[in-house]
A and B are shown apart, each in its own frame.
Chain A
Amino acid sequence: MRRIINRVPDHMTVVVLAAVPFLVLAALYLAGSAARLAENPNDKLLPAVTTMAETLHRLAFEPSRRTGEIVLWADTAASLTRLALGVGVAAAFGLVFGVAIGLIPYVRAGLASVVAVLSMIPPMAVLPILFIVFGLGDLSKVVLITVGIGPFLIRDLAIRVGEMPRELLIKAQTLGASTWQIVLRVVLPQVLPRLIDAVRLSLGPAWLFLIAAEGIAATDGLGYRIFLVRRYLAMDVILPYVAWITLLAAALDIALRLLSRGLFAWTRVRSG
């Protein structure tokens, strides 16, 4: 018998094995839902798939009677805008400060400790302050995301820049490069792929901060909707919303991975 660490499934088996857990989860849900509904047709905890489909259809295709907007798309647009702004600003900060801290000893001496300490502050603990300072509108949510993931991005990039082989920086100088030219032509191209990876890693926390802030104080957004309908135990809204958020998160992750691959072909080159 071969050791199990040496046994590799073929392509078909991989597909089947990957599908099994999903099918099991779906079957468990269907069985549970059917059992509860058989006992009590008004049960709200595990709504039938058909109920969820009807609700989702209403949310995704029919204008709301109250506002005239199509709820799902309005919520999605509001949430994605906040997420994109928060993550975008954090990434810009991460790049500028990360490169400066990693490359310039005087900046590192001045800022590395304060960034390390700031990154220890639990972002949710300062959310009330953000609401007080920036109001209950979009700004406080964007700032929460930025505050929440910015320090991680800064530190991650600073570490990457610090890890670059010293030889490359020396080499650039012996080719006559100024500090600015070194940043443009040596440092940035090498850390941009890492920035995209770091952003991918921080998307999870970014969603967390977004949903939490929307749940606490907002008038639209995916998180707002989930927390709103919780009062009515509307699992037929909550579950499709959670699935939709998961789908969006996965799509963003894949899009960033493809972007990184497309832009930075050299990272995939391996000697043959």
Chain B
Amino acid sequence: MANVSVQGVWKTYAGQPVLERLNLEVPSGQFCAILGASGCGKSTFLRLLMSQERPSRGRITLDGAPLPEDPGPDRGIVFQKYSVFPHLTALANVVVGLEFAAAPLTGRLFGRARRRAEMEAAQVLAAVGLDGAHGKYPAELSGGMQQRLAIAQALVRKPRVLLLDEPFGALDPGTRAQMHALITRLWQETGMTVFMVTHDLREGFALSTRVLVFDKVRHDPQAPEAYGATITYDLPLLRKAPPPALAGAVGAQEEQRS
């Protein structure tokens, strides 16, 4: 699907480096967990991959081509918060992605085209376990269901790369375990390349095939901001599939709550 190449990338804000000397080759289909202290630049790295920000130095390529200048449907994103549109129902939140593709002028589909888009969206909602919630607004959904919806929305345009910024950080442990099973299954089914920022070491190791740890290696006691973080550990987990325990739990834990 998509291999991502990061070559000598720096990111500075107002002269102060946040990220420095990033070099990374991620083959297609890998699941990279990104760990690191708060404020060390993990979200910044995702913003670079998303084209929300541009590297101050270096370059990033996607399947050998330079990253597009703007965010686009080739790279989906799930944030911890504000990931779904509050004014649209669950179904409409997913349909809207199809409408953007098919209706450049109005951003809306009508009649048969709309019903076809709704059927497609319904399949994606079913895949994340949200069959019963089509007509609900995000505020009516629990935190876990909102993140399921955010994932469904991110998947509907079939991105080659999925970026997750602490997607499960606000969820309780039980819900989080269900979400782990879900994201693992979807990753396996789609073959996307996944980057997931997480605070949770166990989550990182449990889900990914590769763990990247961001940290500062250079320190200047007189000027703590003088240097940025880089990748200090890059651990391939030599695992193409998730641990069997997790894979077995997929079907069992797909139950809904509200």
Contact = CB atoms under 8 A, between A and B. Distances in A.
B101 to A, nearest CB: 5
Interface string B95-114: 01101110011111000000
A131 B81 CA distance: 52
Interface string B68-99: 00111101110101111111100000001101
Contact of A174 (B73, B104, B139): B73
Interface residues of B, number: 38
Chain A: number of interface residues, binned into ranges = 20 to 34
Nearest to B165: A167
A177 B76 contact: no
Interface string B148-162: 000001101101000
Interface in A89-104: none
Contact of B139 (A168, A172, A264, A271): A271
A186 interface: yes
B107 A176 contact: no
Contacts of A266: 86-88, 137, 139
B140 A184 contact: no
B141 interface: yes
A175 interface: yes
Given A190-B86, A271-B139, A175 B79 contact: no
Looking at chain A's contact residues, the main secondary structure is helix
B97 A175 contact: yes
Interface string A80-122: 0000000000000000000000000000000000000000000
Contacts of B140: 269, 271-272
Contacts of B106: 184
B179 interface: no
Nearest to A270: B139
A64 interface: no
A176 B73 contact: yes
A174 B87 contact: no
A171 B50 CA distance: 10
Interface of B: 50, 52, 70-73, 75-77, 79, 81-88, 96-97, 99-101, 104-108, 137, 139-142, 153-154, 156-157, 159
5 contacts: A171-B82, A175-B73, A175-B153, A175-B156, A176-B97
